[in-house]
Structure 1
Amino acid sequence: MVGLLAAAGIMAATLLVGLRGVAAVRTTSDFLVASRRTSPLVNSSAVAGEYLSAGSFVGAAGLMVKDGVGSLWYLVGFAAGYVTMLVLVAAPMRRSGALTVPDFAEARLGSAGLRRLSAVVVLVISTLYLVPQFRAAGLVLSVVSPVPYWVGIVLAAGAVSITLALGGMRAATYVQAFQFVLKMVLFAIPAIWLVVAVGAAVRTQALHPVEFDRFPRETTLVFRDRVTVETAAPVRVDGELLAPGTHSFHGGQRVIFPAGTPTPRVGALEPPGGTAWQRPLFDIGHHGYPLFSTLAVLFATALGTMGLPHMIMRFHTSPDGRAARRTAALTIPLIGLFYLFPAIYGALGGVLVPQLYLSGDTDTVVVALPSQVDSGWQGTLFTGLLTAGCFAAIMTSSLGLLLAGASAISHDLGAGGLGRLRLSVLGSAAAVLLLSLPAARLDAGILVTWAFTVAASTFSPLLVLSIWWSRLTAFGALAGILVGLLVSSTAIGVTVGVPNLSGWAAVLANQPAPLSVPAAFLTMTVVSLRGRPTPWALSAMLRLHVDENDRSSRTSGRSRTVRRRR
Structure 2
Amino acid sequence: MTAPSGIAAVSLVLVATLLLGALGPRLSRTTCDFYVASRTVSPLRNASAIGGEYLSAASFLGIAGLILAHGADMLWLPVGWTGGYLVLLVLIAAPLRRSGAYTLPDFAEARLGSAAVRRTTTALVVLIGWLYLMPQLQSAGLVLRTATGTPVWAGAALVTVVVAVNVLIGGMRSITLVQAFQYWLKLTALAVPLVFMLLAWRFDGASGLTRDAPPVFPERTTVRVGAEVAVRVQRPAEVTVTGRLDGADLRARPVTLTAGTHRIGKDAVVTFPAGAAVPHVADLPARTGREWALPLSGRDNPLYGTYSLILATFLGTMGLPHVLVRFYTNPDGRAARRTTAIVLSLLGAFYLMPALYGVLGRMYAPELLMTGRTDAVVLTLPGRLVGGAAGDLLTALVTGGAVAAFLSTSSGLAVSVAGVIGQDVLRGGVRSFRLATVLALAVPLALALAARELAVADVVGLAFAVAASTFCPLLVLGIWWRRLTVAGALAGLLTGGTTAGGAVSWTIVGGTPDGTAGALLAQPAAWSVPLAFAVMAGVSLLTPRGVPAGTARIMVRLHVPESLDVDRGTWRPKEG
Aligning the two structures, in what range does the TM-score lie when normalised by the shorter sequence? over 0.9
What is aligned with 1:278?
Answer: 293
Does 1:241 find its partner at 2:256?
A: yes
What is aligned with 2:441?
Answer: 429
How far 1:436 moved relative to its partner? 1.3
Structure 1 contact 179–392 (Cα < 8 Å) conserved: yes
How far 1:398 moved relative to its partner? 1.0
Does 1:443 find its partner at 2:446?
A: no
How far 1:344 moved relative to its partner? 1.4
Does 1:34 find its partner at 2:37?
A: yes
Structure 1 residues 554 and 535: CA distance shift in structure 2, 3 A: closer
Structure 1 residues 484 and 359: CA distance shift in structure 2, 3 A: same
Amino acid at match of 2:550: W
Q: Equivalences for 1:211-290 in 2 at 5 Å? A: 211-214=214-217, 216-238=219-241, 239=253, 240-267=255-282, 269-271=284-286, 274-281=289-296, 287-290=299-302
Does 1:64 find its partner at 2:67?
A: yes
What is aligned with 1:168?
Answer: 171
Deviates more, 1:496-505 or 1:539-548: 496-505
Structure 2 contact 9–397 (Cα < 8 Å) conserved: yes
Q: Work out the CA distance in 2 between the residues paired with 1:158 and 1:110.
A: 37
Q: Equivalences for 1:340-359 in 2 at 5 Å? A: 340-359=352-371
Q: Work out the CA distance in 1 between the residues paired with 2:539 and 2:564.
A: 35
Amino acid at match of 1:165: L
Structure 1 residues 105 and 253: CA distance shift in structure 2, 3 A: farther
What is aligned with 2:96?
Answer: 93
Q: Work out the CA distance in 1 between the residues paired with 2:338 and 2:158.
A: 35
Q: Work out the CA distance in 1 between the residues paired with 2:487 and 2:108.
A: 12
TM-score, with normalisation over the residues of structure 1?
A: 0.93
Unaligned segments of structure 2, at least 5 residues:
242-252
Which deviations, in whole Å up to 9, do the C-alpha atoms of 1:335-361 show, x marking residues without a partner?
A: 011101101111111110011011110
Which deviations, in whole Å up to 9, do the C-alpha atoms of 1:69-113 show, x marking residues without a partner?
A: 221110000001000000111100000001000111011101111
What is aligned with 1:547?
Answer: 561
Structure 1 contact 58–364 (Cα < 8 Å) conserved: yes
Structure 1 contact 231–246 (Cα < 8 Å) conserved: no
How far 1:248 moved relative to its partner? 1.4
What secondary structure sits across from 2:262 in the alignment? strand
Which deviations, in whole Å up to 9, do the C-alpha atoms of 1:227-276 show, x marking residues without a partner?
A: 24244425434123334432112444443334343333444744466221
Does 1:184 find its partner at 2:187?
A: yes
What is aligned with 2:527?
Answer: 515
1:368 to 377, 380, 387: 380
What is aligned with 1:145?
Answer: 148
Q: Work out the CA distance in 1 between the residues paired with 2:58 and 2:326.
A: 19
Deviates more, 1:264-273 or 1:508-517: 264-273
Q: CA RMSD in A?
A: 2.1
Q: Work out the CA distance in 2 between the residues paired with 1:373 and 1:66.
A: 19
How far 1:312 moved relative to its partner? 0.5
Structure 2 contact 483–541 (Cα < 8 Å) conserved: yes
How far 1:216 moved relative to its partner? 2.7
Unaligned segments of structure 1, at least 5 residues:
561-566
Which deviations, in whole Å up to 9, do the C-alpha atoms of 1:282-326 show, x marking residues without a partner?
A: x6xx53322221111110011000100111100000001111111
Q: Work out the CA distance in 2 between the residues paired with 1:213 and 1:24.
A: 56
Q: Work out the CA distance in 2 between the residues paired with 1:45 and 1:152.
A: 26
Structure 1 contact 287–503 (Cα < 8 Å) conserved: no
How far 1:546 moved relative to its partner? 0.5
What is aligned with 2:76?
Answer: 73
1:334 to 346, 350, 362: 346
Structure 2 contact 210–290 (Cα < 8 Å) conserved: no
1:484 to 491, 496, 518: 496
What is aligned with 1:291?
Answer: 303
Structure 1 contact 492–509 (Cα < 8 Å) conserved: yes
Structure 1 residues 428 and 506: CA distance shift in structure 2, 3 A: same
Structure 1 residues 206 and 549: CA distance shift in structure 2, 3 A: farther
Amino acid at match of 1:544: L
What is aligned with 1:563?
Answer: none
Structure 1 residues 42 and 243: CA distance shift in structure 2, 3 A: closer
How far 1:553 moved relative to its partner? 6.4
- Give % identity: 44
How far 1:205 moved relative to its partner? 4.8
Structure 1 residues 555 and 369: CA distance shift in structure 2, 3 A: farther
What is aligned with 2:395?
Answer: 383
1:300 to 312, 328, 340: 312
TM-score, with normalisation over the residues of structure 2?
A: 0.92
